[in-house]
A = this chain, B = another copy of it.
Amino acid sequence: MTDQPIGAVEAGGTKFVLAVADAAGRIIDRTRIDTRTPDVTFPEMAAFFAAHGPLAGIGIASFGPIDINPASPAYGTFTTTPKPGWSGARFHDALAHLGAPLLIETDVNGAALGEWLSGAGQGCETLAYTTIGTGIGAGVLHRGAARGGISHLEAGHIRPVRDPVRDPFAGRCPYHGDCLEGLASGPAIIDRWGAPLDEAARTDPDAIPLIASYLADLAVSLVLLHMPDRLIFGGGVMKTPGLLESLRHQTELRLAGYVSHPRLDPGLATYIAAPALGDDAGITGAIALGQQASRQRGD
């Protein structure tokens, strides 16, 4: 066991949150930098860590798509992201000179880990964490390990039921049009109503029920295909007053009592939860990944 500190990165599409924590995970220093291109943002990130001396491990919870398979030669490399400059960028290239082992997960897997360790997911054997913001993504942990396969999950691109009379907006996903992310992400809400959801709800009484209906289709699929103990829904869009309640209601209607388990309480009031760590879920998970990286090195 070293007493060297732990590094942590929550890499988002608009900002990077950086933190250094002691071996027990308590934050010593943190900052945030804007996400520009890797040739600018990566050196800023590395300089923050270098100022803290040798690190025992660095944990990263990152936007994607990104290779998170530790056995892959491309581990830590962004793949086909449309974000200019980021395809092919690799965390190891930016951080290897620090000599600390790295562990990398997706942003949602990292946030799920944070909530599982010290937030709304404590005690869950199977936990689904979904974020609704600039994009939509979900991470599913089973006994603390992220479920995935040939890639991390891409739950934001499932196909919800859209009634074109109720919702003539055709969706904005460049791949799928009216997939979930194309219909219910923050940018889709702005495209449809010219305003965030809380403002839209003032003039369109169906705004919140409509977005909740799409999210409920994802919630139902997560239940039926993963059977989690709990679903956490976070991200900027979920801060809209009334959205979580509408999501619970419509998910319960769709499940129609088919999944009978004490975890699915009346109204799904505890089964579908807000994040307990708020915006700190991601960096909390990244610190835990950094601790794991340190232990894997055998310190």
Spell out A's residues near B (CB within 8 Å). 79-80, 125-126, 138, 140, 142, 147-155, 157-159, 161-162, 175-176, 217, 220-222, 224-229, 254, 256-261, 263
A269 to B263, CA, bound (A): 40
Nearest Cβ distance between residue A71 and chain B, in whole angstroms?
10
CB distance from A155 to the nearest CB of B (A): 6
Distance between Cα atoms of A257 and B176 in the complex (Å) = 9
B263 contacts A150, CB within 8 Å?
yes
Residue of B nearest to A227 (CB): B149
Question: 7 additional contacts, CB 8 Å, given A149-B227, A153-B226, A155-B224?
Answer: A126-B148, A150-B261, A151-B259, A152-B227, A154-B258, A159-B161, A175-B256
Main secondary structure of the interface of A (DSSP, over half): loop
Residues from chain B with Cβ under 8 Å of A227 in the complex:
148-154
Q: Are A258 and B175 in contact (CB-based, < 8 A)?
A: yes
Decide: A159 near B254, CB < 8 A? Known: A142-B149, A227-B151: yes
Flag if B258 contacts A158 (CB, 8 Å). no
Residues of B within 8 A of A152 (CB): 227
Q: Which 4 A-B pairs have the closest CB atoms?
A: A149-B227, A126-B149, A175-B258, A154-B224
Complex partner residue of A149 from B151, B154, B228, CB under 8 angstroms: B228
A175-B257 contact given A149-B125, A150-B228, A220-B159, CB 8 Å threshold: yes
If A147-B142, A151-B227 touch, does A217 touch B159 (CB 8 Å cutoff)? yes
Within 8 Å by CB of A157, from B155, B162, B258, B263, lies B258
Q: Which residues does chain B contribute within 8 Å of A257, judged by CB atoms?
A: 175
Rounded to whole angstroms, the CA-CA distance of A229 and B148 in the bound complex is 11
Residues in chain B near residue A220, CB distance under 8 A: 158-159
| Pairs across A and B, CB under 8 Å, 19 listed | A126-B149, A126-B150, A138-B225, A148-B227, A149-B226, A150-B229, A150-B259, A150-B261, A152-B227, A153-B224, A153-B225, A154-B259, A157-B224, A158-B224, A159-B220, A159-B254, A161-B162, A175-B258, A222-B225
Give Cα A221–Cα B221 distance, bound, in whole angstroms: 8
What CA separation (Å) do A162 and B161 show in the bound complex?
Answer: 8
Q: Which of B147, B162, B176 sits near A147, CB closer than 8 Å?
A: B147
Contact A256 B176 (CB under 8 A): yes
* Residues of the B chain whose Cβ atoms lie less than 8 Å from the Cβ of A151: 227, 259, 261
Chain B nearest CB, measured from A112 CB (Å): 14
CA distance A61 to B152 in the complex (A): 29
Most buried by B among A149, A226, A229: A149
Docked complex Cα distance between A215 and B147 (Å): 23
